[in-house]
């Protein structure tokens, strides 16, 4: 006899496991099915998806270790700390990363047990319907559910005719599991993964070259941020080339050879020990068998949903990387909670205008809302407050004065339209801006809030003051970037109420 649940979640990544837990908290009988894509030695499903197993979490562990290594070699002496020459033990670094991943995956299983979520071992695939219930094959068994949440995530996009073996040619998974430091490392794609992995291996000794097809570096980011980032990363030693056209890629006994054309049309060849391919991700609907129930996909292979993550079928929902929007773990989590609450008749909420983005380089990059170029393109009247961390006492004390905070506010209403940060702990600082924007806050609201001194958060406070041309600790001539863009016929703030 088939097992039956109120809610079945297909996929145990950030969106899936959170949706299952929230559904159980709301009184549903909830199950989550997950297979073993990450080679658990016991053959058990490893929860947490790409993020926890081969993405967000392991990459942050390696970024932290490599940052400490670089600090020991370059910053300690300037602060009066004298140590011998630091060396890196890659297997130990990798082992620490693996321990963290194992601890957190086990933690999710514990949360399932505490919240009475049933974990099913196996790949989820639609079979059809049985009355009002959806029939899903999970491994060798069949499960019935009143409602189904698809949370199957995404997988790395690979180059055509370039097989990934995760030894010489790698995607994100192989990049996180290298057993030694390559002398020369090539990376195709200067996005989040490319920059983070390039930073890790450069810090521990690799000569890193990043090839990017787009003509502009970090084209999706505010261009003030992108220009500052390119300057700082180049100074650190990353060789970043934009506007390139990738040609033939050949693996050899010694590594890999990449033929490419520069933005100026010059033919070049790059020889490297290893290659990381980080050219984006694609939705993972492999084996889902959505056609068995008439599930509609977009022309890009994503599950088609509305603003509340409803598919074209009653009782079938989809969240996370498999649907529209940025492929971010925290966005998937918010969607998972929203769907569970909507199922229970509550007012589930996910504000897609206030989802922050982060790149965990050093310095970190974080943003929320509109960029300056977006506001210009939309013809919106806005004002800018920009404060350098060089004027922040805490940043100087930490030895991390690079970067700035940039705030964009509506010229007519003062409502905050976007905040962009490059600097130490930007990933933590951006949350203040997210909260302010979620509540429709103005730059004056942040300007009137007392911030502890000395803290990095004071830079956010000063940027808010700068929107009103009255910074207290960084006069306008210091950075020369306080500007007011005003057009009498411009549309009002483009943020939904």
Residue 483 or 159, more confident: 159
Place of tokens 């490599």: 66
Residue 496 lies in a domain: no
Residue 493 lies in a domain: no
Same domain for 144 and 28? yes
Mean per-residue pLDDT, 233-248: 98
Same domain for 270 and 378? no
- How does residue 489 score in pLDDT terms, banded at 50, 70 and 90? low
Q: How far does the chain reach from its first CA to its final CA, in angstroms?
A: 49
Residue 497 lies in a domain: no
Residue 495 lies in a domain: no
Polymer length in residues for the chain: 497
Nearest to 337 by CA among 316, 357, 308, 313: 308
Give the tens place of pLDDT for each residue, 92-119: 999 999 999 999 999 999 999 999 999 9
Residue 173's domain comprises 169-279
pLDDT of residue 253: 81
Provide the number of structural domains found in the chain: 3
pLDDT of residue 492: 55
Nearest to 20 by CA among 39, 36, 33, 4: 33
pLDDT of residue 84: 87
From 330, 349, 453, 461, active-site residue: 453
Task: Assign residue 255 the CATH number of its domain.
Answer: 3.50.50.60
Residue 76 lies in a domain: yes
Residue 23 lies in a domain: yes
Give the tens place of pLDDT for each residue, 145-164: 999 999 999 999 999 999 99
Give the tens place of pLDDT for each residue, 403-444: 999 999 999 999 999 999 999 999 999 999 999 999 999 999
Same domain for 250 and 308? no
Same domain for 8 and 108? yes
Same domain for 381 and 479? yes
Same domain for 19 and 143? yes
Task: Assign residue 422 the CATH number of its domain.
Answer: 3.30.390.30
Give the tens place of pLDDT for each residue, 443-457: 999 999 999 999 999
Annotated active-site residue 453? The verdict is: yes
Mean pLDDT over the full length of the chain:
94
Residue 334 lies in a domain: yes
Give the tens place of pLDDT for each residue, 362-374: 999 999 999 999 9
Same domain for 31 and 124? yes
Cβ atoms within 10 Å of 27's Cβ, excluding its own: 9
| 77 φ, ψ (degrees, to nearest 5) | -60, -35
Same domain for 110 and 217? no
Mean per-residue pLDDT, 189-207: 98
pLDDT of residue 479: 46
Same domain for 331 and 261? no
Same domain for 56 and 119? yes
pTM for the model stands at: 0.95
Of 249, 279, 309, the residue at which a domain comes to its end is 279
Same domain for 358 and 414? yes
Nearest to 353 by CA among 382, 321, 325, 384: 325
User: Residue 37 pLDDT more than 90?
Assistant: no
pLDDT of residue 74: 87
User: Residue 478 pLDDT more than 80?
Assistant: no
**Helices assigned H by DSSP within 277-425:** 329-343, 372-378, 393-398
Residue 468 lies in a domain: yes
Same domain for 151 and 15? yes
| 261 φ, ψ (degrees, to nearest 5) | -115, 130
Cis peptide before 272 (omega within 30 of 0): no
pLDDT of residue 482: 44
User: Residue 497 pLDDT more than 50?
Assistant: no
Of 291, 315, 350, the residue at which a domain comes to its end is 350
Of 330, 350, 370, the residue at which a domain comes to its end is 350
């Amino acid at each position: 006899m088939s097992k039956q649940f109120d809610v079945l979640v297909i996929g145990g990544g950030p969106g899936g496991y959170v949706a299952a837990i929230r559904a159980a908290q709301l009184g549903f009988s909830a199950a989550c099915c997950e297979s073993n894509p990450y080679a658990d030695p016991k053959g058990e499903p490893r929860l947490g998806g790409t993020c926890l197993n081969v993405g967000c979490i392991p990459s942050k562990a390696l970024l932290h270790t490599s940052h400490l290594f670089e600090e020991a070699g370059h910053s300690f002496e300037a602060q009066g700390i004298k140590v011998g020459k630091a060396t890196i033990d890659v297997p130990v670094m990798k082992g620490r990363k693996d321990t963290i991943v194992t601890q957190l995956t086990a933690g999710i299983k514990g949360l399932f047990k505490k919240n009475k979520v049933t974990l099913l071992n196996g790949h989820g695939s639609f079979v059809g319907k049985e009355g009002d219930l959806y029939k899903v094959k999970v491994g060798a068994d069949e499960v019935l559910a009143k409602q189904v949440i698809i949370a199957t995530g995404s997988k790395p996009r690979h180059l055509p005719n370039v097989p990934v073996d995760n030894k010489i040619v790698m995607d994100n998974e192989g990049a996180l599991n290298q057993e030694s430091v390559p002398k020369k490392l090539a990376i195709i794609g200067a996005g989040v993964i490319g920059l983070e992995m390039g930073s890790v291996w450069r810090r521990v000794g690799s000569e890193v070259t990043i090839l990017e097809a787009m003509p502009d570096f970090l084209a999706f980011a505010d261009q003030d941020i992108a220009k500052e980032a390119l300057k700082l990363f180049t100074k650190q030693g990353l060789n970043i080339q934009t506007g390139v056209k990738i040609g033939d890629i050949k693996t050899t006994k010694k590594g890999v050879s990449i033929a490419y054309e520069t933005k100026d049309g010059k033919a070049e060849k790059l020889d490297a020990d290893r290659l990381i391919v980080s050219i984006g991700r694609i939705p993972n609907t492999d084996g889902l068998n959505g056609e068995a129930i008439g599930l509609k996909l977009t022309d890009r292979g994503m599950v088609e949903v509305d603003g509340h993550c409803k598919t074209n079928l009653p009782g079938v929902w989809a969240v996370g990387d498999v649907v529209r929007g940025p492929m971010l773990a925290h966005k998937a989590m918010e969607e998972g909670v929203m769907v569970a609450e909507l199922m229970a008749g509550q007012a589930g909420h996910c504000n897609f205008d206030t989802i922050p983005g982060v790149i965990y380089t050093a310095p970190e990059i974080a943003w929320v809302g509109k960029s300056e170029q977006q506001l210009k393109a939309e013809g919106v009247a806005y004002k800018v407050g920009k404060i350098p961390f060089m004027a922040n006492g805490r940043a100087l004390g930490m030895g991390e004065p690079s970067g700035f905070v940039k705030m964009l506010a509506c010229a007519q209403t003062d409502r905050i339209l976007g905040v962009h940060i490059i600097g130490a702990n930007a990933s933590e600082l951006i949350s203040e801006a997210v909260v302010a924007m979620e509540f429709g806050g103005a730059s004056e609201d942040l300007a009137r809030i007392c911030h502890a001194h000395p803290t990095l958060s004071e830079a956010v406070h000063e940027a808010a003051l700068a929107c009103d041309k009255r910074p207290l600790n960084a006069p306008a001539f210091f950075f020369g970037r306080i500007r007011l863009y005003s057009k009498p016929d411009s549309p009002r703030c483009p943020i939904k109420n």
